[in-house]
Structure 1
Amino acid sequence: MAKQIKNETSSGSSSHATLIDGPVGRQLYTMALPIMFGLMALMTFNVVDTWFVAQLGEIPLAALSFAFPALMLMTSVAIGMGAGTASAVSQAMGRGDQQRVQRLTSDALMLALLISVLLTLIGYLSIEPVFGLMGASGEVLTEVTRFMQVWYLGAPMLILSLTGMGALRAIGDSRFQGRNMVAAAVLNGLLDPLLIFGLAGFPRMEIQGAAMATVLARTITLVIALFYMRLKARLLIMPSLKPGLLFAEWSIVLRVGLPAMLNNMIIPLSSAIVVSLVAQYGNTAVAGLGVATRLEPLLMIAYFALSSVMGPFCGQNLGAARPKRILKAIHVALVFCLGGGLLLALLMHLFADTLARLFSDNPEVVSVAANYLHIVSLGFGASGLVMALNSSFNGMMKPLPALLLTVLRVIVVFLPLAFLGRYLWGLQGLFVATVISNALVAIGGYFWIRQSVHQFRR
């Protein structure tokens, strides 16, 4: 039997920690599967977004490629808030403190709202200078500006949603998140052609239509999620009105949340540098990179799902003082990531060109995208393991090792190799640098986290 939580909610319902007993592999699979389907739906429609925009021409497609690092940067803040919330809530859940679970969740959502509004204002006011520095100019700069002006309106919904989903995963509820993500993807997919091409009486918004579809889908599904968290999961209460208590709860969330934000921001910042390097080869090369980087998350979907549940799993078991289960989960992640990586590398060797041709009939665009997938897929397994290790460190309230792994991978190893590789072998050198950096950091991170867990056992 799972450990029963003694405290009860104000409505009289009781909860229990769901991840501290039972087969580890099965629990990770059961939690990750709904999220994987949700991610699959979202990422599929992200790819559909790219396909629809590609029908508008090379300029809008290149604009979407320039926008990608900025989108990932804001998403990184949302992921960081979700990670901080999941870590704090899961450990409270493992200890059996349901009232603390509610308090942390509610106060974290208030913090997410404040952060998201501030970042939206900053982002909106700095669109042209930022993308101009990245190398966008002329028609491409005009198109990326039009896209981001609409997309930023939905940023608060993104951050609030991922914060709330972090709390749900922390209590072992991943099914709703999967369903909510599928709903968002379906809404986005239905609205895309209507708003991009002006079908069925809707205005023709072109690239802005892709952004507007995303904003509307996020808004609707966020409202549904908040009702679920309040009425079904019973996670929401009135946020604290006492500044001292409120700041204390925020500090707990930000203890993991801030390093996790920085952790996730480093990658899109490096992506922006890569885009600027690729831009020197022309808009066609940037468009090819954009196709590949939109396909890459879809190919790695199982790794994203696994990493999303590793943090809550480790957090609950740390709160319940069960480090052996954490070690078992890390071993399961190692086997899964490396085995899946071999399969993905084989599939890309066979089908990368075919996938790239689905998005463009320009031979140069196809060549860049396929070349990226051929090479970078060799490191997909290592990249997935690094994501799982980062999430595990965050779940154990050890955000600095997670941050250091990313700093080592991106700044210390990847960026120097990227500049060197580009100098020696051009675009291929950039792609090879990605594989090497993922492999080196995955090896070091695996032994590091095992040592950290053994410290809890002493």
Structure 2
Amino acid sequence: MEKTPQAENKMGVMPVPKLLITMSLPMIISMLVQALYNVVDSVFVAQINEEALTAVSLAFPVQNLMIAIAAGTGVGINALLSRNLGEKNLEGANAAAKNGIFLGMISYIVMAVIGLAGSHFFFTVQTKDPVIVLYGTQYMLIITVVSVGIFMQITFERLLQSTGKTIYNMITQGTGAIINIVLDPILIFGMFGLPRMEVAGAALATVIGQLVAVCMSLYFNCKKNTELDLNMRTFRPNKTIIATIYKVGVPSIIMQSIGSVMVFGMNKILLIFSSTAAAVFGVYFKLQSFIFMPIFGLNNGMIPIIAYNYGAKKRERIMATIKMSVLIAVGIMLVGLVVFQIFPVQLLEIFDASENMLGIGVPALRIISLSFIFAGYNIIIISVFQALGNGVYSLMVSVIRQLFVILPVAYLFARVFGLSRVWWAIPIAEIVAVTVTTLMFRRIIRLKIKPLEEPRLNGELIAG
């Protein structure tokens, strides 16, 4: 039986500041918990040895690729679903949700096959150290073959997010992260009679947490997400809907996957100098997640608001949402900049950093964190492009930033100046990106936002 939609979704009527906070805060909290367990995971791994930490750092591009595929597809699902809800098209919203679930399962199957076939090769092309190769292969096999958790967790969370029920995402992500944190030392070091599994234990703890989270998220969608009907018994894939999802989602997938290419390339450059340099880069990504994850949580609340109000043709609500999101993001980034500038030693010592790692890592953190000044604005505006169906703009910015600037500049600086200057590639890339993003955003305002006609009732503008 079809579920009855509410008279008006809160995304079209609630005051924007309250709505953005209501939508984003649960996601920000859950993202911070995610960041915490990412760091805790590496802290425990670092206690094994530096080779183990390096192996997990080298596996980061694969983890990022899986998240890119799941989250990018989720962006497409989210934009289409929210737009249909804004247009009061419940049938279209249900179809978007069901096709999204189908795509999540297909993505998992593909990644599991890739993991089985290519894990060992992935590490042998990066390093000849047999210990790092062994640790890395064990880790990658587990996180790919059991990646059904990450793919379906993100898919189900996007369905809840699209209808404004982000509080349940906070619960599922938080629970999964806590389970991961609890299991990490037990499985890594072999507590309570269990065998010592080291890096494999860290991977196993991660996938168990994800599987618990996906079960909870499925339950919340079936029992609490009353605006959607997710009965799959008569489902048939719809080529048109899948194409529409990927029209927005593929640029996002590619955009986030480019991050994997960038990290892989940076690791290759850094390994010219030492495995410690690559470990420092991996540690940086763990630490910066505390700064970036809240902004990604903000994005997760912002995107459905903009997509919904674009479907409802509420121009003023779109612009108000964008302005407030940028202010919050820039504020968070400034706090992160201060922390990285003042406490780099303390941050690195969390990971049992050796004197060599401190010597490389302290200047690295201070230099890279200068990019935070511009990154907050860039992240928000790129997400606006996605919410309005212009994912190709997001892709262009990402390609320019990570492939045309970061890697070439890092390689050039490595050859000319040495390791100490490689890190400057990231702030330089962010400055280039903010220029390109601003030019594209002005075009979006002129062509897509300004032409919107505000809805009226009896000649009066509907307040929102």
TM-score relative to the length of structure 1: 0.93
| SS of 1:238 mapped into structure 2 | coil
Q: Is the Cα–Cα contact under 8 Å of residues 23 and 302 in structure 2 kept in the other structure?
A: no
**Counterpart Cα distance in 2 of 1:443 and 1:20:** 32
Number of the residue aligned with 2:242: 250
Where do 1:283-362 residues align within 5 Å?
Answer: 283-362=275-354
Once the two structures are overlaid, the 10-residue window that deviates more, 309-318 or 439-448, is: 439-448
Q: Cα–Cα, structure 1 residues 31 and 70, in superposed 2: closer, same or farther, change >3 Å?
A: same
**Counterpart Cα distance in 1 of 2:416 and 2:334:** 27
Q: Deviations over 1:114-167 (max 9, x none)?
A: 121112211221112222222353111111001111111331221111112112
Where do 1:157-176 residues align within 5 Å?
Answer: 157-176=149-168
Number of the residue aligned with 1:428: 420
Gaps of 5+ in 2: 452-464
Number of the residue aligned with 1:265: 257
Q: CA deviation at 1:13?
A: 5.8
Q: Is the Cα–Cα contact under 8 Å of residues 113 and 145 in structure 2 kept in the other structure?
A: no
Number of the residue aligned with 1:45: 37
Q: CA deviation at 1:284?
A: 1.9
**Counterpart Cα distance in 1 of 2:316 and 2:127:** 50
Letter in 2 for 1:216: I
Q: Deviations over 1:183-217 (max 9, x none)?
A: 01111111111111110122221110000011111
1:27 aligns with 2:29: no
2:390 to 387, 391, 398: 398
Number of the residue aligned with 1:5: none
Where do 1:69-84 residues align within 5 Å?
Answer: 69-84=61-76
**Counterpart Cα distance in 1 of 2:8 and 2:203:** 40
Identity %: 24
Number of the residue aligned with 1:140: 132
Q: Cα–Cα, structure 1 residues 351 and 157, in superposed 2: closer, same or farther, change >3 Å?
A: same
1:418 to 410, 424, 449: 410
Number of the residue aligned with 2:458: none
Once the two structures are overlaid, the 10-residue window that deviates more, 389-398 or 19-28, is: 19-28
Number of the residue aligned with 1:188: 180
**Counterpart Cα distance in 2 of 1:400 and 1:32:** 25
Q: Is the Cα–Cα contact under 8 Å of residues 123 and 133 in structure 2 kept in the other structure?
A: yes
2:171 to 167, 173, 179: 179
Q: CA deviation at 1:451?
A: 2.4
1:227 aligns with 2:219: yes
Q: Cα–Cα, structure 1 residues 192 and 454, in superposed 2: closer, same or farther, change >3 Å?
A: same
**Counterpart Cα distance in 2 of 1:225 and 1:10:** 21
Q: Is the Cα–Cα contact under 8 Å of residues 340 and 381 in structure 1 kept in the other structure?
A: no
Where do 1:351-390 residues align within 5 Å?
Answer: 351-390=343-382
Once the two structures are overlaid, the 10-residue window that deviates more, 220-229 or 420-429, is: 420-429
Number of the residue aligned with 1:54: 46
Q: Is the Cα–Cα contact under 8 Å of residues 72 and 252 in structure 2 kept in the other structure?
A: yes
Once the two structures are overlaid, the 10-residue window that deviates more, 88-97 or 147-156, is: 147-156
| SS of 2:164 mapped into structure 1 | coil
Number of the residue aligned with 1:239: 232
Q: CA deviation at 1:301?
A: 2.5
Q: C-alpha root-mean-square deviation of aligned residues, in Å?
A: 1.8
**Counterpart Cα distance in 2 of 1:162 and 1:372:** 32
TM-score relative to the length of structure 2: 0.92
Q: CA deviation at 1:334?
A: 2.8
Q: CA deviation at 1:393?
A: 0.9
Number of the residue aligned with 2:460: none
**Counterpart Cα distance in 1 of 2:233 and 2:433:** 41
1:214 aligns with 2:212: no
Q: Cα–Cα, structure 1 residues 425 and 306, in superposed 2: closer, same or farther, change >3 Å?
A: farther
Q: Is the Cα–Cα contact under 8 Å of residues 82 and 308 in structure 2 kept in the other structure?
A: yes
1:129 aligns with 2:121: yes
1:443 to 414, 435, 440: 435
**Counterpart Cα distance in 2 of 1:381 and 1:30:** 26
Q: Is the Cα–Cα contact under 8 Å of residues 260 and 399 in structure 1 kept in the other structure?
A: yes
Report how many aligned residue pairs link the two structures: 449
Q: Deviations over 1:43-79 (max 9, x none)?
A: 1111111011111111111111111111111111111
Q: CA deviation at 1:352?
A: 1.2
Q: CA deviation at 1:371?
A: 2.2
Q: Deviations over 1:334-384 (max 9, x none)?
A: 323333333322221111111111112401112333222211111114222
Q: Cα–Cα, structure 1 residues 371 and 443, in superposed 2: closer, same or farther, change >3 Å?
A: same
Q: Deviations over 1:402-423 (max 9, x none)?
A: 1111111112222222222222
**Counterpart Cα distance in 1 of 2:346 and 2:172:** 31
Once the two structures are overlaid, the 10-residue window that deviates more, 48-57 or 123-132, is: 123-132
| SS of 1:300 mapped into structure 2 | helix
Q: Is the Cα–Cα contact under 8 Å of residues 72 and 268 in structure 1 kept in the other structure?
A: yes
Q: Is the Cα–Cα contact under 8 Å of residues 111 and 144 in structure 2 kept in the other structure?
A: no
Q: Cα–Cα, structure 1 residues 383 and 183, in superposed 2: closer, same or farther, change >3 Å?
A: same
